[in-house]
Amino acid sequence: MARLARYCACLVLAATAARAEPPAADAVERGRYLARAADCVACHTAPGSAEFAGGLAMPTPLGRIYTTNITPDPETGTGSYSLADFSRALREGVAKGGRYLYPAMPFPSYAKISDADMQALYAYFQHGVAPVKQANRRSGIPFPLNFRFPLLFWDAMLRRGPFRPDPGRDARWNRGAYLVQGLGHCGTCHSPRTFTLHEKALTERDGPDFLAGAVINGWYAKNLRGDKDGLGRWSEADIVNFLKAGSTDRTAAFGDMAEVVQHSTQYLTDDDLAAVARYLKSLPPRAGEAAGLQAAAPAHEDVRRGKAWYDELCMTCHRGDGGGMARIFPALAGNDVVQTADATSLVHIVLSGGRRPRTQARPTAFAMPAFKTLNDREIAQIVSYIRTAWGNSASPVSAEQVAKMRATFNDAEAAR
Amino acid sequence: MSCASRDKEGGALRQALTAAALAAGLLSPALAQTPAEPKPQPAPAVKLAPPHIADIPNDDSGKQIMLGMRLLAETKKLLPDNVASALNCDSCHLGNGRVANASPYYGMAVNYPRYNARAGRPVTLIERINGCLLRSMNGQTIAVDSAEMKAMVAYLDWLSAGLPPHAKVEGAGVGKVDANLVPDAAHGKQLYDAKCAECHGSNGEGLKNAQGEFVVPPLWGDESFNIGAGMARTYTAAAFIKSNMPIGYGLNAPLGQGGALTDQEAVDIADYFTHQPRPDFPPKVNDWPKGGRPKDARY
């Protein structure tokens, strides 16, 4: 009997060894989870096209670039990549064959991915994703700017390194730090950049620019630090709710963040979300700079007309007292998102409208209509009213600022 | 486009339409004299183009108009003695009565007095407002000469200023559904739970804010409209929800409303929620004294 048991155990071991080439199913599943945490699908899938087959256009100051096929197709995708090739692409931004990737790929963040997670991601992208034959598109960056070797210098200026845990903090905080800095690559949008387009900070150790808010794609990716217009007034539970359901009692994800919630964060486990929240809430306010919360009162007539436009166009959903409807339509009163020093997102959503993420927790993706038929002055009046009514105290916005932003958004739309 | 220039265009458009309506009116006697059988030409519908709230005059007359607008939007809060349900006029007349197919107020002032089959006689605008207070708001009428009634009428008059008498407005009413569709209330309940309950509550109880004020109206129960309200009728309610529910659903200005339901789905949902328990309306015995009772009337 004992011999039979030993024999069976050997059989099992042999079977495991035989499967070692295609990795264990749980590695593939873990890789699937990590790929969601890293939101690979957001950039590597073009609308209406196969998942991970690339081809999404990304406007850059130099011209349009296209994301690449990362399905395991051996010719057009990453099927021929070894783990080392795969890891080098993710961590160092160098594709197999030595070509430098454009830094639209957040490899400065992915450099922090652990070896174990890298192996799981590799397992998933080799065995959990269907191969799709789809050749990569050439970039629209003109000669001679399309030479990639200068990226070497860009790369050399980068302070990149593996994730460094902080032994003075608990495991949950460190898990959150790892997710935010690495897979989540939150800083790609939320950290300001230098004129060379490097993120000014890649971790909390790099100082108060880390996740201090930045304009990208015509949206202001908000400050995630402890400022009043950051996450200072959010609880950890608010952050978890927001990332899981796409909304809290006060606010809702919109713009590009709606897609992040829909494709990525809603799938994170409660433990991981709690870790992200713990870490973000530990970031102190950006020192030295006054938050956007200072009111230079708009002119009386602008206030009167702003309120009238609000009553006409906004009040049905956001309510007369700016209180919104909990978890359905965001509150505007006391909402830090409408009081950021940089009003880009607020103006943008009034012009273009937006849709909340569709999540398992909240399947109805409520939307806000587009009000682009309003003129610049009218939008300035509405936005200024919202930023100063009900105890809100952010600076008013001028018609000239709206005109400038409208032109930027129109350019961005045209470039898509 | 500046606000003023748009208003000028809106005004020009209204003038043109008015001229067209007058021309049609002048032509119709001529048409009547032709040997063919005379057909009265219906006046062309006027585009729904209400003036902007920002252009309410900034003087005493404007104050009265603004008060009227607020009374219609916050009826429960401002007229607690007259409103027994949790509803406001704007619960059914969405967006200050400026929105197509959301029972707009625009055009109402020039269409009253008008014959009302339910009353069996012509009713005035003031009687119509009081009718809503009695039925949709399950409450009490307010005095004809009260400041509140005058203010509400002032807002309605201001909205329709410049419209010709009896102007037909595009988007007046609540839109249409096929009244031959047979409702399926069981399916309606399923749809209600999936698509409506997030805002209106699983028991039709509506939604309150942190201060305990309703922000989404209850659809049945003691605090909803009574059985005498137009919204208690299956096909009226179905047309309303097809045109308007949910709000904030699409990118279409002004409210992102509608576009979520087929006619059949709207009829199913409407049949389910209108037939839930709600307050009675004893004076219902006087309704439709001369006949003409619609098939979906509840009594």
Report helix, strand or coil for A100. Answer: strand
Q: Are A328 and B199 a contacting pair at CB < 8 A? A: yes
Out of A308, A355, A373, the one facing B54 most closely (by C-beta) is A308
Find residue B123's DSSP bridge partners: B114
The whole-model pTM stands at 0.79
Domain termination residue (choose one: A100, A131, A162) = A131
Paired tokens of A17: 């060894």
Q: What is the mean pLDDT of residues A113-126?
A: 97
Render pLDDT for A392-401 as a digit per residue (tens, 0 to 9): 989 999 999 9
CA distance B258 to B261: 7
Higher pLDDT, A240 or A405: A240
**pLDDT more than 90, % of chain A:** 68
Nearest to A43 by CA among A61, A72, A66: A66
Residue A21 scores a pLDDT above 90: no
In a domain, A117, yes or no: yes
Residue A145 scores a pLDDT above 90: no
Q: What pLDDT does A149 receive?
A: 74
Residues of each domain in chain B carrying CATH 1.10.760.10: 55-166, 185-286
Q: Are A319 and B3 a contacting pair at CB < 8 A? A: no
What values do phi and psi take at B123, rounded to 5? -120, 150
Inform me whether the C-beta atom of residue A360 falls under 8 Å from chain B C-beta atoms. Answer: no
Give the A window 231-250 contacts with B, CB below 8 Å.
none
| Chain A residues lying within 8 Å of B2, measured CB to CB | 375, 377
Mean pLDDT (chain B, rounded): 88
Residue A54 scores a pLDDT above 70: yes
Sign of the four-CA dihedral B218, B223, B228, B229: negative
Among chain B, residues having any CB pair with chain A shorter than 8 Å are 1-3, 52-56, 58, 69, 73-74, 90, 94-96, 98, 195, 198-199, 207, 209-211, 215-216, 246-256
| Chain A residues lying within 8 Å of B193, measured CB to CB | none
Spatial CB neighbours of B71, under 8 Å, sequence gap ≥ 6 = B78, B79, B89, B148, B151, B152, B155
Same domain, A105 and A180: no
Inform me whether the C-beta atom of residue A164 falls under 8 Å from chain B C-beta atoms. Answer: no
Flag the least confident range among A118-132, A290-304, B16-30: B16-30
User: How many CB atoms are closer than 10 A to CB B81?
Assistant: 8
Same domain, A296 and A356: yes
Out of B2, B98, B254, the one facing A375 most closely (by C-beta) is B2
Nearest to B22 by CA among B187, B167, B215, B172: B167
Domain termination residue (choose one: A131, A160, A182) = A131
Chosen from A311, A348, A349, A350 to mutate, greatest number of chain B CBs within 10 A: A311
Paired tokens of B163: 């419209």
Higher pLDDT, A266 or A6: A266
The CATH number that applies at residue A224 is 1.10.760.10
Render pLDDT for A214-257 as a digit per residue (tens, 0 to 9): 998 889 999 999 998 899 999 999 999 999 999 988 899 999 99
**Residues written for chain B:** 299
CATH topology of domain B185-286: Cytochrome Bc1 Complex; Chain D, domain 2 (1.10.760)
In a domain, A162, yes or no: no
Q: Are A328 and B58 a contacting pair at CB < 8 A? A: no
CA distance A399 to B5: 17
Long-range interactions of B139-145: CB distance < 8 A, separation 24+: B139/B79, B139/B81, B139/B82, B139/B83, B139/B84, B139/B85, B140/B81, B140/B82, B140/B84, B141/B82, B142/B79, B142/B82
Out of B3, B215, B256, the one facing A378 most closely (by C-beta) is B3
The DSSP code for A193 is B
Report helix, strand or coil for A24. Answer: coil
Out of A304, A329, A381, the one facing B248 most closely (by C-beta) is A329
CA distance A353 to B292: 45
A106, amino acid identity:
P
Confidence band of B39 (pLDDT split at 50, 70, 90): low
Render pLDDT for B253-281 as a digit per residue (tens, 0 to 9): 999 999 999 999 999 999 999 999 999 99
Distance of CA A66 to the CA centre of its chain: 18
Same domain, A388 and A261: yes
Counting beta carbons within 10 angstroms of the beta carbon of residue A115, is it exposed (0 to 12), middle (13 to 18) or buried (19 or more)? exposed
Same domain, A185 and A79: no
Which residues in A274-366 belong to E strands, given as ranges?
A: 354-355
Nearest to A213 by CA among A162, A283, A264: A283
Q: Are B54 and A364 a contacting pair at CB < 8 A? A: no
Flag the least confident range among A284-288, A310-314, A325-329: A284-288
Render pLDDT for A92-104 as a digit per residue (tens, 0 to 9): 999 998 888 888 8
Counting beta carbons within 10 angstroms of the beta carbon of residue B21, is it exposed (0 to 12), middle (13 to 18) or buried (19 or more)? buried
Nearest-CA residue of chain B relative to A303?
B54
Would you say the ipTM is above 0.95? no
Same domain, A199 and A343: yes
Render pLDDT for A181-195 as a digit per residue (tens, 0 to 9): 999 999 999 999 988
In a domain, A322, yes or no: yes
Confidence band of A61 (pLDDT split at 50, 70, 90): confident
Render pLDDT for B62-110 as a digit per residue (tens, 0 to 9): 999 999 999 999 999 999 999 999 999 999 999 999 999 999 999 999 9
Identify which of A60-64, A175-179, B54-58 has the greatest average pLDDT.
A175-179
| Chain B residues lying within 8 Å of A369, measured CB to CB | 248, 250-256
Out of A325, A353, A370, the one facing B215 most closely (by C-beta) is A325
| Chain B residues lying within 8 Å of A317, measured CB to CB | 247-248, 255
Query: What is the count of structural domains for chain A?
Result: 2
Paired tokens of B277: 């328990």
Q: What is the mean pLDDT of residues B147-169?
A: 96
Q: Print the domain residue range for A195.
A: 171-415
B99, amino acid identity:
V
Q: What pLDDT does A260 receive?
A: 96
Counting beta carbons within 10 angstroms of the beta carbon of residue A61, is it exposed (0 to 12), middle (13 to 18) or buried (19 or more)? exposed
Q: What pLDDT does A22 receive?
A: 73
In a domain, A1, yes or no: no
Render pLDDT for A201-210 as a digit per residue (tens, 0 to 9): 999 999 999 9
Quote the crossing angle between the two packed helices A270-281 and A171-178, to the nearest 10°. Answer: 90
Residue A333 scores a pLDDT above 80: yes
CA distance A179 to A174: 9
Angle, CA B116 vertex, CA B112 and CA B122 arms, to 5°: 55
Residue B245 scores a pLDDT above 80: yes
CA distance B183 to B173: 22
Q: What is the mean pLDDT of residues A86-91?
A: 96
CA distance B147 to B78: 13
Domain B55-166 has CATH 3.40.190.10: no
Q: What is the mean pLDDT of residues A342-371?
A: 92
CA distance A394 to A298: 10
Residue B221 scores a pLDDT above 90: yes
Q: What pLDDT does B31 receive?
A: 40
Out of B74, B94, B211, the one facing A316 most closely (by C-beta) is B94
A125, amino acid identity:
F
CA distance A351 to B19: 35
Nearest-CA residue of chain B relative to A353?
B251
Nearest-CA residue of chain A relative to B256?
A369
The DSSP code for A45 is B
Same domain, A177 and A120: no
CA distance A140 to A310: 42
Report helix, strand or coil for A329. Answer: strand
In a domain, A155, yes or no: no
Report helix, strand or coil for A66. Answer: strand
Inform me whether the C-beta atom of residue A333 falls under 8 Å from chain B C-beta atoms. Answer: no
DSSP code per residue over A207-267: -TTTT--EEETTEEE---SSSTTTTTT--HHHHHHHHHHSB-SS-B--THHHHHHHHTGGG
Chosen from B55, B90, B198 to mutate, greatest number of chain A CBs within 10 A: B198
* A368–chain B nearest CA distance, Å: 6
- Return left, alpha or beta for A44; rule: phi > 0 is left, psi -120 to 50 is alpha, else beta: alpha
Q: Are A320 and B249 a contacting pair at CB < 8 A? A: no
CA distance B246 to B251: 12
Report helix, strand or coil for A380. Answer: helix
Same domain, A251 and A299: yes
Residue B199 scores a pLDDT above 60: yes
Domain termination residue (choose one: A101, A131, A161) = A131
Residue B136 scores a pLDDT above 90: yes
Q: What is the mean pLDDT of residues B111-140?
A: 96
Say which residue the tokens 């009213």 belong to.
A385
Q: Which helix (H) or strand (E) holds A302?
A: helix A300-313
Inform me whether the C-beta atom of residue A328 falls under 8 Å from chain B C-beta atoms. Answer: yes
CA distance A117 to A30: 8
* A311–chain B nearest CA distance, Å: 8
Question: What's chain B look like in SS3?
Answer: CCHHHHHHHHHHHHHHHHHHHHHHHHHHHHHHHCCCCCCCCCCCCECCCCCCHHHCCCCHHHHHHHHHHHHHHCHHHHCCCCCCCCCCHHHCCHHHHCCCCCCCCCCHHHCCCEEECCCCEEECHHHHHHHHHHCCCCCCCCCCCCHHHHHHHHHHHHHHCCCCCCCCECCCCCCCCCCCCCCCHHHHHHHHHHHHHHHHCCCCCCEECCCCCEEECCCCCCCCCCCCCHHHCHHHHHHHHHHHCCCCCCCCCCCCCCCCCCHHHHHHHHHHHHCCCCCCCHHHHHCCCCCCCCCCCCC
Find residue A199's DSSP bridge partners: A193
Q: What is the mean pLDDT of residues A274-278?
A: 98
Same domain, A101 and A242: no
Chosen from B48, B99, B158, B199 to mutate, greatest number of chain A CBs within 10 A: B199
